Structure 1
Amino acid sequence: MSVTTRLLPVAAAAALAVAVLVPGAAAAAPGPAAPPAGAAASGSTAPRSVVDGPIPAPGLVSTRNVLPGLAKATDQGPAPGNAPMHVMVTLQRPDVAGEEAALAAQQNGKAAPLSVGAFVDRFGVPARTADAAKAWLSSTGMHVVSVSAARDQIAADGPADAVSQLFATPLHGFDSPDGKFLANTADPQLPGNLGITNVVGLNTLQQMHTPHPLPQGPLQSTCLPGACTGGTTPADLWSVYEQPPTHTGSGQRVAIFGNGRTDGVISDLRAFEDRFRLGHPPVTVKHPAGDTDFSDDSGHTEWNIDTQASHGMAPGIGGMDLYFGTDLSDADVARTFSQFTDDQDSPRQASASFGECEQVPVVSGVLNNPITNPQPAPPVAQGLGNNLDTTLTAITRQAALEGKTIFSSTGDTGSSCPVASLPVVGAGNGVLNQGVPITNSPASLPYVVGVGGTVLYTDGRGGRAREYGWTHGGGGTALFTPAPAYQQGTPGLNLPCVTAPTSVCRGIPDVAAQSGDVLGNGYDIVSDGKFSDGGGGGTSLSSPLWAGMWARIQSASSAGGGLGFANFDLYRVGKDPATYARDFHDISSTDVRSGLPSTNGAYPSLPGWDYQTGWGVPRVAGLMCDVAKAC
């Protein structure tokens, strides 16, 4: 593969910050339809759910939720009335401040994770509010297929004409080089009495993307003077990342998020296990309610990497749960995440190796700014319209309160996000820095562990010869999300938020692990029944490696795997000089090919935490000692 890296100076982020605040620029998307009489102005915020007293009389509010760049596609006219649509409506939970206080108590070691039932009792949406929302969703013929345990996420299916009528917005068909899709052409109208904070699924274009498969490299056993190249085995990483044989994941399970077919993934996992003399723990497949078509096999190699990397790092796990939807559309990803969060018996760690650009607020200037519109401009497939983050933030905050950790790859487009869907690099997440200083979601969400990538050369004797940050590993500042409490005060975290310049924004990655590169470095997997030397790579390898290693750390805990959300502990030991060197191997070296400091485009690897590799790669024995108290 020919790879072009587009370097972007850190100053570009500051330029974007200025551009966002410049008024007067017109968005590319069509303007909102005039709201019905009595409706609130466009952009109004719906009130919270009502805890006490009767449900107030409804009043419509308009929310900005139209694809940016829609005018670049060819409008084919009204969508077929019977075209199937899948939506997710998010209701405001009534005590977000209480949730944050409970998280702070867990972070400070003063409270234990909550069960799903305890979370629902303390923070769930009142049943009467959810019932009213269900009745509204059903009023035009939509079918409610699931309601989350906390009653804040309601999934509904129905034909396009029912969706159009319900949200008072036309739905049209569009054609573009990225394919045919349906989308609303005006801002949806919502009842103001239900506390609806988000709607996902009003278009069929937006979706998460798995990374483009990397080329196969030579065997890691191919040793040059001082270093070996190619694919690492599980045993290589047990040694390099200092994983003691006394704790291998017993009593733990790992969850993998994905979509489509699973039969081939499971058979390849069994072949991988046999090759490396691992056991055959049970694999359970779980599908969201309402999903029926699981024929898509396009992500087969990715799910092979996820399952084989996580089990390779935790050979003693008791099982693996595959949370697989029909596709990676925003609405279906939301359903899958919600299912995991609501599952009382779900694993305590999960991996999501896919992503799209973080949510960009609809602020004058941002959509027409040249930084966020690379040339030549992609027709429509700009992830900058993503509005899934509002929903996933609520879902992942609940997961963190329940002591569950979702690891997510930061992407393979360097200090950029996959705005463009280009044939040469695959579906929006190929090895190409696309020049837009926006991070990948869900890795950038506050209650997800974002995992970056490194290139690892072993010495042929179980040790590390060299490890440095991968040039295309995702990372940077989440320009619109303030740093969560656990990340505040981290040395090296210093870039301000666009919309709150006095606040430092969230930075990713949090940690890193081997991703390999496109030339001669990766992880050995089995795919389509055939052994692939170094065939697993990208940060979609790094994320499941960490999920497996965290399962291993949890298995060492006397709390029986109840360590809670991983970032609480990872930042606690990372900030303390007395534990940092014992728990992490710092990545601050140079790129051996160029001789220059390792960088992902805008951010170099530096001592301590940085925007390319986070805290660095793990020393698992040290983490077991300082986090699990198994010294």
Structure 2
Amino acid sequence: MTETHVELPGSRRPSKSDARRLRDVDPHAHIEVTITLKAPALPDVTAASEPALTPEEFAQRYGAASGDVHTVEAVLRGYGLTTEELAPDRRSLRMSGTAAAMESAFHPGLGIYHNAEQGEFRGREGTLKVPAELAGIVTGVFGLDQRRVAHRRSAQPAESMGRPLTPAQLEVLYNFPSGDCAGQSVAIAEFGAPLQSGSFLAPAYLADDVRAFCAAQGRALPNIEIVSVDLSPLTAAQLHSLPANVGNVVLDETGEVMMDVEIVAALCANATVYVYFASFDQKGWVDLLTQVASGQPATPVCLSISYGLAEDSPDWSAAALQAINNGLQAAALQGITVCVSAGDDGSGANMSGAQAHVEFPASSPNVLAIGGTMLTGSAASEVVWWESPGRRTTKGGGATGGGVSTLFARPGWQSVSVPSLNRGGIDGRVVPDVAALAGPPLYNLILDGQPSPNGGTSASAPLWASLIARINAALPADKRQRFIAPLLYAQDADGKPQGQSACRDITSGQNASHPKPGKGYSAGPGYDAVTGWGVPDGKALLAALTRA
């Protein structure tokens, strides 16, 4: 008998060790999925890349064939699915239907699961299948499994850390060029958390906090637009109406949002800031990157991402890693520098065992990976961020992520030599590229009307995004809108890497997580796997990018 379905490569989801299956999904439940499609391979991004593509040029060159799109729609309509939208880049399709229709189309074996972090959520185990007619056309189906793969990267304040730094002090510390980012668009990625049985609750966006923070710092308030991808943020009124036990968790998640926005707002007073909100499952990642790279509502010069997960975590599927990396590559080809925090759990990346790990998407060769530092009295004593035990705990602690990827080969433009700590490790992408303040004395911020110092590499990423936007506004027209990571490794007229002259080298510290893996990478002269080229010298970076 002819098989109606075939296995979808890269779709395997293992059982989640901390979750138990409670029951089957209601067959009448409405589900929306994002389906990625076979499309032309994307070229590698190098320092000598062609001028940035427009979203329209990208879709024309790299979108899926119209015939394949029509085939997918026609076949899946036969299983009861409805088309919601063909993505503007023509590389994915959103479709919806009942859980029963999804079972018929993809054989996921959906269930309702429970764990301590998420409560109840929809999930699956094993591999998906697709109708045989779609073999080789459909490359991924996302949204059936809602397990969390976007963990925030903010640190818990230390007991004694000195006075947190203001935007003006950060500008001095990192020698920002003058300007207010006039004419620039800056994007920020935020992800929502499920806090009630079977539903996602987004973090809140507290507009009054941003206004109060900018006013307190003597900064103009930029134009801030909320972009709802898969969910909308709660308002202050909705947050304050929640039961205390739920509201406290939402406020904790909201701290990430407000830190990102306040840092960018204060450093980019005349920019337009787009804050994208998506669900923290694999579908949310794919959809958010698709929307940003499609220029909806505008093509930004940079995107700040303060979330991630160990690249080899079983919660990532191979298909999702590929789809998300494709989204990051699409952004880079359009000149968008995606600034991603390297993580706050040191060399272990919150994984167990004796191996060192790095986080994704920081390990992607299509992003600018941002590590963390801390101050011990002055800029002269800025060192690698490491607080015992080199990872986050309920009692504090944390350390910058950094190391060598086990999944992504070292890109040709990353001309550095850093061996992996893991026996038999590949010559992988090295993380991070650069760094900025993450630990003490932290950042001066406001949350829910109150002073709320915060940090982590979550703060380092929006700081770098702000600097890139400010520099982009000051660059000659033919030097703007470029993915800058490869440029930092390119040689200048004196034969030195641009990053060496554009950054202040950090030479002291390490990122070992304890008790496991108990080893880490160390800082030293030049490039290293804890702070990259170092922290920015903004004016020197502007000069370097003007020459490059």
TM-score past 0.5 threshold: yes
What is aligned with 2:356?
437
Question: What secondary structure does 1:333 align onto?
Answer: helix
Do structure 1's residue 281 and structure 2's residue 281 form an aligned pair? no
Per the TM alignment, residue 445 of structure 1 is displaced from its structure 2 partner at its CA by 1.3
What is aligned with 1:322?
275
Do structure 1's residue 467 and structure 2's residue 382 form an aligned pair? yes
Question: What secondary structure does 1:565 align onto?
Answer: coil
What is aligned with 1:521?
441
Aligned residue type for 2:268: A
| Matches for 1:239-254 after TM superposition, within 5 Å | 239-245=172-178, 247-254=179-186
| Matches for 1:552-567 after TM superposition, within 5 Å | 552-559=470-477, 562-567=480-485
C-alpha separation in 2, matches of 1:497 and 1:590: 20
Question: Alpha carbons of 1:312 and 1:601: their partners in 2 closer, same or farther (altered >3 Å)?
Answer: farther
Aligned residue type for 1:310: V
C-alpha separation in 2, matches of 1:468 and 1:584: 14
Greater Cα shift, 248-257 or 300-309: 248-257
Per the TM alignment, residue 418 of structure 1 is displaced from its structure 2 partner at its CA by 3.4
Per the TM alignment, residue 259 of structure 1 is displaced from its structure 2 partner at its CA by 3.7
Per the TM alignment, residue 615 of structure 1 is displaced from its structure 2 partner at its CA by 1.1
C-alpha separation in 1, matches of 2:541 and 2:160: 32
Is the 1:89–1:153 Cα contact (8 Å) retained in structure 2?
yes
What is aligned with 1:510?
433
Aligned residue type for 2:372: G
What is aligned with 2:303?
350
What is aligned with 2:266?
312
Deviations 1:160-182 (A, max 9, x none): 22221110232223334443333
What is aligned with 1:481?
408
Indicate which of 207, 212, 225 corresponds to 1:266.
207
Per the TM alignment, residue 87 of structure 1 is displaced from its structure 2 partner at its CA by 2.4
Question: Alpha carbons of 1:558 and 1:255: their partners in 2 closer, same or farther (altered >3 Å)?
Answer: same
Per the TM alignment, residue 262 of structure 1 is displaced from its structure 2 partner at its CA by 7.6
C-alpha separation in 2, matches of 1:270 and 1:561: 33
Indicate which of 429, 443, 460 corresponds to 1:542.
460
Per the TM alignment, residue 560 of structure 1 is displaced from its structure 2 partner at its CA by 6.9
C-alpha separation in 1, matches of 2:479 and 2:267: 16
Q: CA RMSD in A?
A: 3.0
Indicate which of 327, 331, 338 corresponds to 1:399.
331
C-alpha separation in 2, matches of 1:270 and 1:276: 10
Question: Alpha carbons of 1:614 and 1:339: their partners in 2 closer, same or farther (altered >3 Å)?
Answer: same
C-alpha separation in 2, matches of 1:388 and 1:629: 37
Indicate which of 537, 541, 544 corresponds to 1:623.
541
Indicate which of 254, 268, 285 corresponds to 1:333.
285
Give the share of equivalent positions with the same residue, in percent: 25
Do structure 1's residue 569 and structure 2's residue 487 form an aligned pair? yes
Is the 2:13–2:126 Cα contact (8 Å) retained in structure 1?
no
Do structure 1's residue 188 and structure 2's residue 128 form an aligned pair? yes
Deviations 1:339-371 (A, max 9, x none): 1110162211110111122156xxxxxxxxxxx
What is aligned with 1:143?
82
What is aligned with 2:420?
495
What is aligned with 2:99?
160
Per the TM alignment, residue 91 of structure 1 is displaced from its structure 2 partner at its CA by 1.3
C-alpha separation in 2, matches of 1:473 and 1:71: 27
Per the TM alignment, residue 267 of structure 1 is displaced from its structure 2 partner at its CA by 1.9
Indicate which of 145, 153, 177 corresponds to 1:211.
153
Misfit runs of 4+, over 6 Å:
496-499
Per the TM alignment, residue 586 of structure 1 is displaced from its structure 2 partner at its CA by 0.9
Aligned residue type for 1:129: D
Question: Alpha carbons of 1:218 and 1:560: their partners in 2 closer, same or farther (altered >3 Å)?
Answer: farther
C-alpha separation in 2, matches of 1:69 and 1:257: 28
Do structure 1's residue 175 and structure 2's residue 114 form an aligned pair? yes
Question: Alpha carbons of 1:614 and 1:539: their partners in 2 closer, same or farther (altered >3 Å)?
Answer: same
Question: What secondary structure does 2:347 align onto?
Answer: coil
Aligned residue type for 1:469: V
Question: Alpha carbons of 1:75 and 1:580: their partners in 2 closer, same or farther (altered >3 Å)?
Answer: closer
Deviations 1:39-76 (A, max 9, x none): 7xxxxxxxxxxxxxxxxxxx734435333244764333
Aligned residue type for 1:254: V
Question: Alpha carbons of 1:559 and 1:528: their partners in 2 closer, same or farther (altered >3 Å)?
Answer: same
C-alpha separation in 2, matches of 1:38 and 1:396: 36
C-alpha separation in 1, matches of 2:497 and 2:205: 46
What is aligned with 2:501?
582
C-alpha separation in 2, matches of 1:525 and 1:494: 38
Deviations 1:61-100 (A, max 9, x none): 443533324476433342221334342221122243xx23
C-alpha separation in 2, matches of 1:480 and 1:410: 15
Indicate which of 19, 25, 34 corresponds to 1:79.
25
C-alpha separation in 2, matches of 1:600 and 1:302: 28
Q: TM-score, structure 1 length as denominator?
A: 0.73
Aligned residue type for 2:123: A
Aligned residue type for 1:621: K
C-alpha separation in 2, matches of 1:454 and 1:64: 36
Per the TM alignment, residue 121 of structure 1 is displaced from its structure 2 partner at its CA by 1.4
Deviations 1:576-615 (A, max 9, x none): 5374443111111248xxxxxxx99411112211111111
Question: Alpha carbons of 1:387 and 1:129: their partners in 2 closer, same or farther (altered >3 Å)?
Answer: closer
Aligned residue type for 2:256: E
Question: What secondary structure does 2:263 align onto?
Answer: helix
Greater Cα shift, 184-193 or 335-344: 184-193
Question: What secondary structure does 2:381 align onto?
Answer: strand
Deviations 1:200-255 (A, max 9, x none): 22312233111355126667xxxxxxxxx33111111111111132x342221211
Is the 1:497–1:504 Cα contact (8 Å) retained in structure 2?
no
Per the TM alignment, residue 37 of structure 1 is displaced from its structure 2 partner at its CA by 4.1
Do structure 1's residue 447 and structure 2's residue 366 form an aligned pair? yes
